[in-house]
Amino acid sequence: MKLTAKGAATRGRIIEGAAAEMRERGVAVTTLDDVRARTGTSKSQLFHYFPGGKEELLLAVARFEADQVLADQRPELGDLTSWDAWLAWRDTVVARYRGQGPQCPLNMLMSQLGRSTPGAQAVVAELLGKWQGEIAEGVRAMQRQGEIGPGVDPDRSAAALLAGIQGGVVVLLSTGRTTHLEAALDLGIQQLRDSATGSPTRHG
């Protein structure tokens, strides 16, 4: 459905309002009536933009929350061109998930949608693909400067670092502690630094 600028703005307002409602009340208990009340939207308007009802709206909110994961890491994620920048990004990631705490809106949305559904899988795949791509570009930038060894595969290294982050987030959701997330980031970045010399080194 092709939207006018006004229509796109209205649809975006509904999505943002629904996301805020679901963050406050929980995904499972938020109804379309709740979203309508929060956004000042009529029933006909809501179904005009989301003819598939709540499931379609949930998917749109999931995409919004996935985009927010990357937005919360900017500008650091897009500028991994020095070790100071990498450490600033590391701190941003930890702060983002520490602030979020044990409740992850995207995780709750995926559970509600069903992780095996094509739409939900596409949202997660797109998020991870973009995230991995930006980390990999940071690795390439550091290789061009001679700060990361030429034998390092940027895509595989980015995939491993991202897998470590995701594992750390899972532990955080279970325990409320960022220890594992911090360890995954610290060791992943340290291995990249060590690759320039070919042997582990200590950095103060």
Tens of pLDDT, residues 34-79: 999 999 999 999 999 999 988 899 999 999 989 999 999 999 999 9
In this prediction, residue 155 carries a pLDDT of 98
Whether the pLDDT of residue 203 is over 80: the answer is: no
Task: Name the pLDDT band for 201 (thresholds 50, 70, 90).
Answer: very low
Q: Is 129 helix (H, G, I), strand (E, B) or coil?
A: helix
In angstroms, the CA 49 to CA 10 distance is: 9
- Give the angle 95-97-102 at the CA atoms, nearest 5°: 135
Amino acid at 105: P
Task: Name the pLDDT band for 113 (thresholds 50, 70, 90).
Answer: confident
The H-or-E segment that residue 122 falls in is helix 118-144
In this prediction, residue 112 carries a pLDDT of 72
Whether the pLDDT of residue 26 is over 90: the answer is: no
In this prediction, residue 204 carries a pLDDT of 37
In this prediction, residue 115 carries a pLDDT of 66
109 against 139, higher pLDDT:
139
In this prediction, residue 117 carries a pLDDT of 78
In this prediction, residue 24 carries a pLDDT of 86
23 against 106, higher pLDDT:
23
In this prediction, residue 199 carries a pLDDT of 54
As a whole number, the mean pLDDT across the chain is 89
Task: Name the pLDDT band for 1 (thresholds 50, 70, 90).
Answer: low
Whether the pLDDT of residue 119 is over 50: the answer is: yes
Q: How far apart are the first and last CA of the chain?
A: 55
Residue burial 119-134, b: 16+ Cβ < 10 Å; e: rest: bbeebeeebbeebbeb
